[in-house]
Chains A and B, each alone.
Chain A
């Protein structure tokens, strides 16, 4: 069980996350949805030890992991599949997979082979190409490799940051289907996505994050039903900026004067 309590985090003078509470139980897929810049990536960075939080706690099965290094987090079983895939382009697929199990240096060759077979089972296309450089793979295949590489670390909690990023619509559905298939492994899966509808469709529960705060949480079905996603994302019925306001008139007049435009 991955538990986050009152987490806050930021960069420099900016506070990006405030008082975030979140839990992910083993065997469930939890979606974290929100617009770009809402704080999704910052949250998963804190969870994976890339960014030390400013406050609050993170625990995995009751053990505090906040403030630990990325290595310590991987060792305890928290693994992040980062945004933009971040595979090792210059190395072979095989080397990429083996690096995923880097923290398990005590494993013998047979166990590593087993682990590779096990991790690639959902992605059979990868195995026959094991000795090719990873840069030869398409975007969708690289995403699959990134997930398989994550599984190599034998995680208890797996976080996927924007797995659909930059993929063509047909591939997006494929990736989500594969993620849904991971449910049977007993992992706690946190799926951070801006593709709300598909991530809600495959997840059990969901959190909605806005401006660094959790603004809604519940079962995915409820979230899908309760909030009109179109309204949330496409701003229907809510506009910022009024060309006829007095404030606007003053602003325009001042700028006109500064820029020397009649």
Chain B
């Protein structure tokens, strides 16, 4: 019985932190309509600031805590004003969501540069000795945590419900246009919500750091848990966030004790999947129902990126010739192997482009399908000694089945929930690759994977793998280019830009989304298999969720909806750290920063920019001039 209560208390403490992160989500979501995936990183930043003020500078705990929260809040103001608020004002909601994933990566990268990759623990605020209540032993920090979070929730409640400022925040959430007419500066309110959420994150981070040691990438964990909590409780509902956080914390603690600590996360994610299926609006639905006949996303305008068939062919052939010639050049071996990795990742990014760039469905779980493909092919060819080719094909089939199963969940979801379901899928696969030790080798990975082979021909050298990846990418680009330039591609784009108008023309929107997801999953699976055969080794973190974010960065950097763009994104983010070794430490931060900057300053991406430039060249700027002609006829 006492162990039961002990676990319950542990769950409540854990849940308190999740609830605080979930509150941050809800606050920002209500005011801006965007889920800020960087929320969890503020916990780490708060703990990190605390570490410097308290441990390194030896300042008093209370002063250090206040300064930490203030400095993270100040950082939040700067980042929010420079990136988040302009993005909410300018970009489609889906892009803003992905941008916050970029912010999360950026913050993790910053923490890596400052903190290194060692876990850090803070000293408890008041001594190590736990307080004994009857048979129970409660760490004093637990009391600090519970008290701190309760105080924070109370303060937030007072702010929102009892002050003019809080009323203004609520007004922005309720009806932004009317709020502007009342003289409320809506952008300032967005920034305020972002900053408050940063302060909430920092506070909970420095409260929890003495109990759980944190490291640079713990932000992802907090974001995930807080997000599961908010999805269970109800997006945008304050009460729901708190209940969701506590439910999740308790469920995880009990699962860890009674089932297995390896599967605690899996069970939480299954709980979430179930919630998304059963009651996607969460336990506490909030906010007004949006009208369906108004375009859900008012900021869908994007640049028209079109290369004429001949120019596209010229670009493709040039690129192919250069790439074919590369292994013949006297290059260091690691450059060739990193080119091979770029090409393999490019295959997965191609799939992502079909799904995200062409169909407009944000996927935060592409690495999950890579993992399915990689592990399935590797296990089939090692344990069951299947020929690698058969393993790859079977893995693709398994991935497509997973995609179909996932689409049964996502089929009923729209917008944010869809992106979040894919994130959940990716995390679920992450936790399974770690948890199913007998099958996957667990955290230490799967070894002894053979080289890829077709019949007796083995791709056992870097050069052969390079040509294999190149050949496959070229064929895939050619096929997809054909598909995207015909009715299928147009149907995808119609769904991307306006589902309602597409359905009104008889486009079966559900079917189109499922097809795009299956194509995307199959290509990710293929890439995952090649990845495993290339390294002869596969471990969970090689194909974990941060990889999904990295591939999104590659796609966005290269240019969504351009097919070839992903190659440039993959090259930049894979080859540069290889060429300049000193950059490796900065890779995570750079990936995040590039993703954010591309969205804000060059939404069409590197290749998109190049294509626009090329199509204006010679063709006397066809789009531009016809635009001008339209202006004159309109006069």
Contact = CB atoms under 8 A, between A and B. Distances in A.
B165 to A, nearest CB: 9
A105 B185 CA distance: 13
Contact of A50 (B180, B183, B185, B287): B180
Contacts of B181: 48, 50, 70, 74, 79-80, 82, 86
B293 interface: no
A153 B183 contact: yes
Contacts of B171: 88, 91, 99, 102
B174 A13 contact: no
A37 interface: no
A75 interface: yes
B288 A95 contact: no
A91 B160 CA distance: 12
B168 A90 contact: no
B55 interface: no
B438 interface: no
Given A88-B171, A91-B167, A153 B178 contact: no
Given A13-B630, A75-B183, A50 B177 contact: yes
Contacts of A89: 174-175, 288
B190 to A, nearest CB: 14
B151 to A, nearest CB: 25
A156 interface: no
A153 B170 contact: no
B631 A13 contact: yes
The dominant DSSP class at the B interface is: helix
Contact of A98 (B164, B175, B180): B164
Nearest to B180: A70
Interface in B264-320: 287-288
Contacts, number: 73
Most chain B CB within 10 A, of A14, A50, A90, is at A90
Contacts of B184: 71, 99, 102
A87 interface: yes
Interface string B83-118: 000000000000000000000000000000000000
Given A98-B167, A102-B164, A91 B174 contact: yes
Nearest to B631: A13
A90 B170 contact: yes
B86 to A, nearest CB: 16
A11 B183 CA distance: 23
A100 interface: yes
Interface string A59-78: 00000000001110011000
Contacts of B177: 50, 82, 86
Contacts of A90: 170, 173-174, 287-288
Nearest to A15: B634
B479 interface: no
A105 B168 CA distance: 11
Contact of A100 (B182, B185, B287, B288): B182
Interface residues of A, number: 27
A13 B629 CA distance: 11
B167 A95 contact: yes
Contact of A102 (B173, B182, B288, B630): B182
B183 A95 contact: no
Contacts of A75: 183
A87 B168 contact: no
Contacts of B175: 86-89
Contacts of A74: 181-183
Most chain A CB within 10 A, of B164, B174, B177, B178, is at B178
Interface string B598-635: 00000000000000000000000000000000110010
A103 interface: yes
B226 to A, nearest CB: 24
B169 to A, nearest CB: 11
Contact of A86 (B164, B173, B178, B287): B178
B203 to A, nearest CB: 27
B170 A91 contact: yes
B634 A13 contact: yes
A79 B181 CA distance: 7
A102 B183 contact: yes
A49 to B, nearest CB: 8
A153 B185 CA distance: 15
B182 A99 contact: yes
Interface in B171-201: 171, 173-175, 177-185
A91 B184 CA distance: 16
Nearest to B185: A71
Contacts of A50: 177, 180-181
Given A50-B177, A88-B178, A105-B164, A95 B170 contact: yes
Nearest to B30: A90
Interface string B521-553: 000000000000000000000000000000000
Contacts of A69: 185
Contacts of A13: 630-631, 634
Contacts of A153: 182-183
A115 B173 CA distance: 25
Contacts of B634: 13-14
Contacts of A80: 181
B168 to A, nearest CB: 6
A88 B287 CA distance: 11
Interface in A196-216: none
Nearest to B187: A69
B374 to A, nearest CB: 47
Contacts of A91: 167, 170-171, 174
A145 to B, nearest CB: 11
A82 B174 CA distance: 15
Contacts of A103: 182-183
B183 A70 contact: yes
Contacts of B180: 50, 70-71
Contacts of B287: 90
Contacts of B173: 90
Contacts of B178: 82, 86-88
A89 B175 CA distance: 8
Contacts of A86: 175, 177-178, 181
A13 B631 CA distance: 7
B452 to A, nearest CB: 52
Nearest to B161: A95
Nearest to B177: A86
Nearest to B165: A105
B289 to A, nearest CB: 10
Contacts of A48: 181
Contacts of B167: 91, 95, 98-99, 102
A4 to B, nearest CB: 19
A71 B175 CA distance: 15
Contacts of B630: 13
A220 to B, nearest CB: 27
A38 B173 CA distance: 31
A236 to B, nearest CB: 31
Nearest to B634: A13
Contacts of B183: 70-71, 74-75, 102-103, 153
Interface in A90-119: 90-91, 95, 98-100, 102-103, 105
Interface in A12-55: 13-14, 48, 50
Nearest to B188: A71
A76 to B, nearest CB: 10
25 contacts: A13-B634, A50-B180, A69-B185, A70-B181, A74-B183, A80-B181, A82-B177, A82-B181, A86-B175, A88-B170, A88-B174, A88-B178, A91-B167, A91-B174, A98-B164, A99-B168, A99-B171, A99-B182, A99-B184, A100-B182, A102-B182, A102-B183, A103-B182, A103-B183, A153-B182
Given A80-B181, A87-B178, A100-B182, 8 more contacts: A14-B634, A48-B181, A69-B185, A90-B288, A91-B174, A99-B167, A99-B184, A103-B183
Interface of B: 164, 167-168, 170-171, 173-175, 177-185, 287-288, 630-631, 634
Q: Across chains A and B, which 3 residue pairs bring their CB atoms closest together, nearest first?
A: A74-B183, A103-B183, A86-B178
